[in-house]
Amino acid sequence: MHRRALIVILTAAALVTVAVALPRLLADRSRDWSTDSPAARTAFQAGLDARMRFYLADAATSFRRAVELDPDFAAAKVQLLDLTHDSEEHQSLLAQIAGIDVSRLNERECFLVELARAKRDHQAEITGRFLKSHPRDSWGLFIAAGQAWDHEEWETAGALYRRLLEVDPNWVLARNNLGYMSMAQARFAEAEEQFRTYAYVAPDQANPHDSLGELLSLLGRYDEARSELEQALAIRPDFCASYEHLIGIAIFEGKPEAIEPIAARAETHCSPAMAAALRCEGKYFAAYVAKDFTAPWREGFASCVGKPGDRGVLFYRMALMAGEMKEVDAEEAALAKAVEDSRTAGYGRGKGRMIEAQSFHVRGLRKLYEGDPAAAAALFRSADERASFWSAGEGRLKLFNELNLALALERSGDENDATAERARVKAINPAFAAIFPKIAERSPGGSRM
Amino acid sequence: MPRWRLSKLVTVFGGLALAFALLSIVDILLPRPYDGVVLEADQWGILSVREVVAGSGADLAGIQPGDRIAGIDRTVLASSAHASRLLARHQIGDEVPYLLRRANGLEEVRVHLGRRFIGSAPYFYACLLGFAFFAVALFVRRRQPELRAAQIFYLVGALFLLFLVCRLRPASYGWIDNLVLEAGALALLLLPACFLHFFLVFPRPISLRPAIGDPDFKRRRRRWLLLLTSLYVLPPVVFLVAIGLWRHAGVTPRLITGAPEASWWVLGAYILVGLATLAWNARATRDPRQRRGIALVFAGSLFGLLPFLGLAVARPAWLYSEPQAFALLLPLTLVPLTFAFAIIRFGLLDIRVMVRRSLVYSIVTVGVAAVYSIALALVNAFALGSQFSASRAFPILFALGVLLLLEPLRHRLQAMIDRFVHADRRRLEEAIRKLGRAIAAEIDPRPVVRDVVERLPKILGLHFAALYLERDGELERAAGAEHLPARLPLLAPLHDALAAKGEPVPLAEIARLVPDSSAVRELALLLEPTGVEIVGDLTSPRRKIGLVLLSGTTGQIEIGDEVRTLLGSLFGQAALAIETSRLVAERTQQAELERELEIASSVQAELLPRVLHFGEGWSVAAVCRAARHVGGDFYTELPAGLNGNRAIVFGDVAGKSVAGALVMMAAHEALQTLALSHRDPETLFALANRRLYGLGTKKSFVALGWVAASDDGEGIDYLLAGQPQLLVRSASGGVRELPLPPHRLPLGALLDGRYVASRAAVSPGDVILGYSDGVTEAQAPDGELFGDDRLIRVLAGADGGPHEIIRQILAAIAAFTRGADPYDDITLVAISRDGGGEICTAAH
């Protein structure tokens, strides 16, 4: 009798094992991409790899090739839809995706198609539903994390990215995004770890070196940053963001003479427009360093920085110091309008906050110029609350704003808070904190100190 | 859970443990590309470097203990198995980029892959220890498959194997690492409870454990199961809580060789409680041998485990330093060693081990030879190149020295081994010999029986012994185990076979010993369920005395060939002692009987009158000679008639010796009593007949002859009841027989006997001879009877008076029988009408 019971138990255990294992085996099969063309599959996989390397143009080309090889390749169409900048192609793909017969697709492909068909408002719901049934699906996690990122739901996005990395530790874009999220929250060590891991996994990609260079430039480790950025450019000379980050380093270091060679390289590998913008920024910075605040208007390059609202903090400071109050007013008004627009016109919340921070910052500078350090401090605080270290540019603004806040606090007699603010900056970027007194001489109201 | 199933589970678990351990060893030996990194165990998802093999690729790349390997071959690692897969893609000699996480951040290094070699001397020592422990446990399990303590000990051995071979394995990257390390972790979770459980049932269950037949069995069993469940559940719970706190509450536990410190404390507490229980058991054990065995195990466990606790638990906990895990291995060796030694020497867990001296001696000899060889090699090495070593005489002298020293050293070592390993056996042999000497000196069987059934079981550590002695063709249990049958058949072929073998044999072999005897097979079947294991024979040269049945031992000593040989001698001595005591008893009894018969003979002689009276003018003589000390013949005189005459009565009781004498005395008493009131012979005989018949001695009749002078004085009146005819020898020498009366049945034959007296005329000078049949039935050595004719011839030739005639007849009988004892009692009565007076008779 006991022997029979043992046999029954063992049989039941075997059946349970099979019952548990079978769906998993089937689930593994469901991860395949639905196409009958091996060539299309190869092209598609190349596109995924390129996308993972952040070579988006290459990725788009590969996906386009996959669609050509298999016109019914739904997943390739969805990926291409995400990357194409051609509106005609975009519309065509949308139409094709609308007509896809999802019955022959696996669950993940169905999810991607449904997501592509849906309006932006419903995408989070669709993703949530898919993740509920496939909590460890890499694509589901990646897309859900991206949606949370867009909404600046850092905790959620971070958790999703981390879960994704548990599932697939080598999903480098997740590392990249997680690194930027850590950077935005001033968790620089974590960010560096993510970027370095990214660089380790994909040493032949430009992006991880660029991300790492951007981070290191913000932290004042300029040589390391330059090395990483040069490495990125050595891999992909057309990786244009790296030129911008090199210019940023030059600005951080107060070396306007370093800008022109970088601009010249950018002109070769990127676009003339970009090179022109970089040179314009170089001219402004050189004049600023030379305390020749009227130079843009005197030498006629004032207009090279673009339209009001896009001309940047440096232009504003120069105008303010040069007494070009019309330009100052126009910039403030343009920023105020941009803030309003960002609240109503569908900007991402991150971009809106950046504009708000910029707006508060320039108004703070004006108050400082006008000799009202207390009001300036309040505005700088507001700017500080909104700005983050999301990128090197925004981080540079945040650090600059904090040092101006310290200056305003100092002028309003709040020495302790001023010292604390300077210490915060020093902890992040000691090099920048060290050269700030020189900059402060060129700050609004600085000459009166 | 049914016992069989638990037993099978235990077996399967041990098998799996062995498989894991072997897998681990095999995996270590397989050639694979390897970086030289030894990982910390139990850091899930984290590849933390515990040590780096000197000179390996990792060492040359600057990887250090404490580094964490985050990536290999441009891939972020999810587990050590993942790393293993990545390394497997490479060849020995490849250079692979590693991503290290250090205190100051991530760093990339390049590592040259070499041939894998993990493990160190301490680890291989740990493996040896683990396998040794498992071997001991497996041996115990095989020898005592049904014993619960043996099963748990087997589990403990399997867990120790897992712990030592798998848990302490230097982890590299293989999936097998995870497998064996997790198996090792399982061991760490189960080992404390198993260890304690073992000491709760070893050498016998503590009182908490219910016994079959306990009236409160169910409640006690519930409590016992609850206790065991708690014991087994607590370590995993502590482990999981520690890990849970670590994972979810951020409370970082201190890890000691990969396991939370709390788990080690639990292990330590369990071990201490287990040792205390063992000490208690040792104290409560009555059997001194068992107590010595338990004490030895206690000492081994104490000195083996205390350093373990100190180094693995207390020291790192107090000093906050990671112990050198292998430092605890050396003392830990004591645990299996003491168990093995206690089993060999004290038969722990009822296991009998026969370590053959020849084997041990061979090993010792080889060892000694090896030592000398090493010494020779060393001396050669040191003396190499010297003048000393160049001499041709050197190796010869050295070899001679070795030969001279080998024997003394070997003897000394063997003596030591005997002292330690075979001391109990030696003591046992001595005890048996001593017992044999004691038995041989006994002439009283009771001490012999006591020695066999009481002292011998104590010496051998038997459950019981029983002694059966022959009685009336059967074997009757004289002493010993009462659950054995009271009687057994006496099987001569079995006794003969056992006697021929000269030593007791196992019960299972007696059927083979006497293959043709179904009775022996039946005896074996009868005794098998009773626990009898050994059957010994008690046979003396004269007869089969009995059988000794012995149970198995309670442990300690195996009843092997040597012991059986000793027991054979012992039983021979016991048989002789019992036989001797019996003979002595018989002789004593016989002597007493003879003395009593002599007394009875003298009493009987006193019954016979020394002087007979017959009547005026008559002479009479009588003799009564008993064939034994006492006899059934008699003669007496009774009153006869009213003229004062006396009648001579002579009787012969059918039967001799004591029985005949008793009937004779009864007849004598009856005749004497009845004659007081009944002088008429016919009435006298009739009444005496009734009285003798009433004695119930149906086979013991009394033949009587009654003779008295007739009233007229011219003859005799006579009455014969079963006696031979009277003979009359006339003065002329002729002999005639007097006629027989019509009824002549002996007295006591029938209830209603009729007797008629006769009268015969007797002339002066005639001699009347009455006699018992013992006269005519006296036998010559060749078997010839004396007979009537010879009696008549003697009577006819005899001269002299009655006394002389009787003397001559007796002489003739003696000559005829050549001095041999008469076959039957002899009574002669001679009466002569010679006008003489009364004649005294010679009684006997």
Of B76, B78, B105, the CB nearest to A201: B76
pLDDT in tens, B234-283: 888 888 888 777 767 766 666 666 667 788 788 888 888 888 888 887 77
CA distances from A387 to A133, A311, A355, A393, B805 (A): 37, 18, 9, 11, 168
User: What does the DSSP 8-state code read for residue B522?
Assistant: H
DSSP secondary structure of B415-473: HHHHHHHSHHHHHHHHHHHHHHHHHHT--SHHHHHHIIIIIHHHHHTBS-EEEEEEETT
Q: Looking at residue A242, what is its pLDDT?
A: 92
CA distance B51 to B54: 9
With a CB-CB cutoff of 8 Å, which residues 183-242 of chain A face chain B? 189, 192-193, 196-197, 200-203
pLDDT digits over B166-207, tens only?
Answer: 777 766 666 566 666 666 667 777 888 888 888 887 766 555
Give the residue among B767, B782, B787, B783 at the shortest CA–CA distance from B727.
B767
How far apart are the CA of A366 and the nearest CA of chain B, in angstroms?
A: 42
Rounded to two decimals, the pTM is: 0.51
Say what the pLDDT of residue B528 is.
Answer: 85
Q: What is the pLDDT of residue A447?
A: 42
Confidence band of A61 (pLDDT split at 50, 70, 90): very high
Q: Angle at CA B635, nearest 5°, toward B629 and B637?
A: 145
CB-CB neighbours of A9 under 10 Å: 10
Instruction: Give the nearest chain A residue to B77 (CA atoms).
Output: A169
Q: What is the pLDDT of residue A21?
A: 59
Q: Do B4 and A170 touch (CB under 8 A)?
A: no
Q: Which residues of B78-93 are buried (b: 16+ CB within 10 A; e: fewer)?
A: bbbbbbbbbbeebeee
Of A385, A53, A390, the residue nearest A215 (C-alpha): A390
Q: Are B315 and B323 in contact (CB under 8 A)?
A: yes
Nearest to B348 by CA among B534, B192, B204, B531: B204
Asked whether the beta carbons of B491 and B510 are under 8 A apart, the reply is: no
Report how far residue B408's alpha carbon sits from residue B473's, in angstroms, rounded to the nearest whole number. Answer: 58
Interface touch A192/B105, C-beta < 8 Å: yes
Residues of B in contact with A189 (CB under 8 A): 105
More confident residue, A44 or B398: A44
Nearest CB to B108: which of A2, A200, A202?
A200
Under 8 Å CB-to-CB from B332, ≥6 apart: which residues?
B129, B304, B305, B307, B308
Write out residues in chain B with pLDDT < 70, as ranges: 1-5, 41-45, 116-120, 170-185, 203-215, 247, 250-259, 312-329, 344-360, 380-390, 395, 419-425, 554-559, 628-630, 642-643, 655-657, 696-700, 822, 835-844
Phi and psi angles of residue A298, each rounded to the nearest 5 degrees, phi first: -75, -40
- The residues, ordered by sequence, that sit 6+ positions from B226 with a Cβ below 8 Å of its Cβ are none
Q: Round to whole Å and give the CA distance between B70 and A34.
A: 34
Is residue A91 classed exposed, middle or buried when 0-12, 13-18 and 19+ CB atoms within 10 A define those classes? exposed
Q: Which long-range contacts does A27-32 make (Cβ < 8 Å, 24+ apart)?
A: A29/A106, A30/A106, A30/A107, A30/A108, A31/A106, A31/A108, A32/A106
3-class state of residue B746 by DSSP? coil
A297 vs A319: CA distance, rounded Å: 9
Shortest CA gap B5–chain A (Å): 8
Determine, for residues B70 and A201 on separate chains, whether the beta-carbon distance falls below 8 Å. Answer: no
% of chain A at pLDDT higher than 70: 91
Question: What six digits make up the tokens of A373?
Answer: 């350090």
Give the span between the Cα atoms of B484 and B467, in whole angstroms: 10
Contact A2 B78 (CB under 8 A): no
Task: Check CB contact of B108 with chain A, cutoff 8 Å.
Answer: yes
Contacts of A201 in chain B (CB under 8 A): 71, 74-76
Kindly state the helix (H) or strand (E) to which residue A187 belongs, with its residue range: none
Angle at alpha carbon of residue B824, lines to B823 and B825, rounded to 5°:
140
State the pLDDT at residue A233: 93
Taking only residues 3 to 62 of chain A, the set having a beta carbon closer than 8 angstroms to any beta carbon of chain B reads 6
Is the CB of A165 less than 8 angstroms away from the CB of B76?
A: yes
Query: Which pLDDT score is estimated for A30?
Result: 40
B510 vs A: CB within 8 A: no
Pairing relationship of beta strands B75-76 and B68-72 according to DSSP bridges = antiparallel
Residue in chain B lying closest to A202 (CA) = B74
User: pLDDT tens digits, residue range A294-350?
Assistant: 888 888 777 787 777 778 888 888 888 888 888 889 888 988 888 888 777 654 555
| Contacts A165 to B, Cβ<8 Å | 76
> From CA A269, how far away is CA A232, in angstroms rounded?
13
B99 to A200: CB separation less than 8 angstroms, yes or no:
yes
Q: What is the largest CA-CA distance in chain B?
A: 163
Q: Which residue has the tokens 């291995």?
A: B329
Whether A233 contacts A214, CB under 8 Å: no
Contact criterion met (CB below 8 Å) for B577 and B445: yes
Interchain CB distance below 8 Å, B78 and A166: yes
Q: Where are the alpha helices (DSSP H) in A134-185?
A: 138-150, 154-167, 172-184
Which residues in chain B are contacts of A192 at CB distance < 8 A? 105-106
CA-to-CA distance for B687 and B747, rounded, in angstroms?
A: 9
For residue A2, pLDDT beyond 60: no
Q: State the Cα–Cα distance between residues A65 and A76, nearest whole angstrom.
A: 9
CB B646: neighbour CB atoms within 10 A? 21
Q: What is the mean pLDDT of chain A?
A: 84
Nearest by CB: A170 against B2, B76, B106? B76
